[in-house]
Amino acid sequence: MEKAKRTEIKELGEFGLIDRLTSDIKTQHKSTVKGVGDDAAVLDFGENYLLISTDMLIENIHFDLSYAPLAHLGYKAISSNVSDIAAMNGIPKQVVVSIGLSNRFSVEAAEKLYEGIKFACQDFKLDLIGGDTTSSPSGLVISVSITGEVEHKKLALRKGAKEKDIVCVTGDLGGAFIGLEVLSREKQVFISNPDMQPELDKYNYIVQRQLKPVARMDIIYELRDLGLVPTSMIDISDGLASELHHLSKNSGVGFRVYEDKIPLDKQTYDTSVEFNIDPITSAMNGGEDYELLFTIDHKDFEKIEKHPDIHFIGYATKMEEGLVLETKNGNEVKIQAQGFQHFN
Ligand code: ADP
Ligand code: MG
């Protein structure tokens, strides 16, 4: 008898696995405009598109309760879903929240989680319309699904960037990643000596970036007021490098970005140096910033030229030119999805 083939999931990675499981899926309904492959699915039920997205958070994979307060975690679970609707240039409307709880959790603990969930629903004007509650063999699982709406003409996909479009990034990058480094270091210190109190004051901004990220709906509303529709868009959940690859692959363009244009907060910069990490690596490869990466046509540049929180980091090129980072001293570095390697 022949032995069944066994492939380890780590050989494919997350994106490889999704591709393997979904590449042969064909949609059957005319209303399914976009299925697998973007930040949210796009469904056509008339005047506007309905957007749907879902995300699951699992204890000790996505969060560590020894430093993430439950209320913050609830907020983050909602905010990260809102970010996927923002990435489609949509307005979030409803959420469905499912939780699995082990007997380690009390009613009061569940209430704390919901404090954060409800606070985020207020913040982003969302109706919480249902969910599911179950026990879990160990630890906490949170799954959130979200709906949103966007007018047909305002939809922004990962596809759509064209050569010469300007690449824009909101806020600053790398903070959530380096904030997590600080939190894990302080946890180790605490485990080896429980009398040591963590010193987090000087890391306040980056720790907040990790624990309570705020989806950039403010930017989506502003773009609407300015009458600007990005030619392509994605939210930055896995690091700038990975998101540039998604836009590139879906749009069929390359990108040239400039190291000195990539927005870094001073605390992110200083703490990266403290951890012997190149600050630009924190921005390129660190995840969970939940900022927006988008491209615009040149004709729209003057509408946001002076915006204090939108940064112009480069432009789209021909696909053959690939993804290139031009460093401060003029070297060209090829942008890899994970980490990046020098040409020379
Ligand atoms: P994001 O980081 O924006 O949440 P993901 O990387 O999780 O996006 O997912 C990429 C795409 O693959 C999305 O369109 C998502 O709906 C789809 N996807 C992810 N996991 C599955 C799955 N198990 N089955 C079907 N589609 C999936
Ligand atoms: Mg996304």
Per-residue pLDDT of 235-278, as tens digits, reads 999 999 999 999 999 999 999 999 999 999 999 999 999 999 99
**Residue with more model confidence, 190 or 323:** 323
Return the percentage of the chain with pLDDT > 90, whole number.
Answer: 88
Distance 41 CA to ligand 1 centre (A): 9
Mutate to test the pocket of ligand 1, among 36, 53, 55, 80 (most ligand atoms within 8 A of CB): 36
pLDDT of residue 344: 32
Alpha carbon 235 to its chain centroid, in Å, reads: 5
Mutate to test the pocket of ligand 1, among 9, 15, 21, 22 (most ligand atoms within 8 A of CB): 22
Nearest of 85, 95, 94 to residue 41 by alpha carbon: 85
Burial class (CB in 10 A: 0-12, 13-18, 19+), 147: buried
In this structure, are strands 232-236 and 166-170 parallel, antiparallel, or unpaired?
unpaired
**Residue with more model confidence, 197 or 92:** 92
- Residue 178 three-state SS: helix
Q: In Å, what is the CA distance from 29 to each residue of 47, 88, 165, 184, 287? A: 17, 21, 33, 47, 35
Nearest of 171, 206, 204 to residue 277 by alpha carbon: 206
CA–CA separation, 290 and 170 (whole Å):
9
CB distance 136 to 102 below 8 Å = yes
- Which residue owns the Cα nearest ligand 1 atom 15? 36
How many CB atoms are located within 10 Å of the residue 197 CB?
Answer: 9
Q: Tokens for 279, please give them.
A: 């600050």
Q: How many residues does the chain have?
A: 344
Region of 139 please: left (phi>0), alpha (psi -120 to 50) or beta. Answer: left
Alpha carbon 253 to its chain centroid, in Å, reads: 21
Average pLDDT, the chain: 94
pLDDT of residue 258: 98
* Closest ligand 1 atom number to CA of residue 39: 3
- Which residue owns the Cα nearest ligand 1 atom 22? 18
Return the percentage of the chain with pLDDT > 70, whole number.
Answer: 97
Nearest of 162, 127, 137, 185 to residue 297 by alpha carbon: 162
pLDDT of residue 156: 98
CA–CA separation, 220 and 228 (whole Å):
10
Average pLDDT over residues 329-344: 69
- Which residue owns the Cα nearest ligand 1 atom 4? 39
Terminus-to-terminus CA distance in the chain, angstroms? 51
Q: Given the structure tokens 């432009």, which residue do they identify?
A: 315
pLDDT of residue 2: 67
* Closest ligand 1 atom number to CA of residue 22: 25
Q: Does position 342 have pLDDT exceeding 70, yes or no?
A: no
Q: Does position 28 have pLDDT exceeding 70, yes or no?
A: yes
Helix count and strand count (H, E) for the chain: 10, 14
Distance 157 CA to ligand 2 centre (A): 11
pTM of the model: 0.95
Distant-in-sequence contacts of 65-68, Cβ < 8 A, 24+ apart:
65/140, 66/187, 66/190, 67/183, 67/186, 67/187, 67/211, 68/211
Distance 62 CA to ligand 1 centre (A): 16
Distance 37 CA to ligand 1 centre (A): 7
Distance 287 CA to ligand 1 centre (A): 16
CA–CA separation, 121 and 78 (whole Å):
7
CA–CA separation, 193 and 200 (whole Å):
16
Distance 92 CA to ligand 1 centre (A): 18
pLDDT of residue 196: 73
Residues with C-beta less than 6 Å from any ligand 1 atom: 18, 21-22, 36-39, 55, 84, 237
Q: Given the structure tokens 């907060």, which residue do they identify?
A: 265
Confidence band, pLDDT 50/70/90 cuts, at residue 119: very high
Distance 53 CA to ligand 2 centre (A): 9
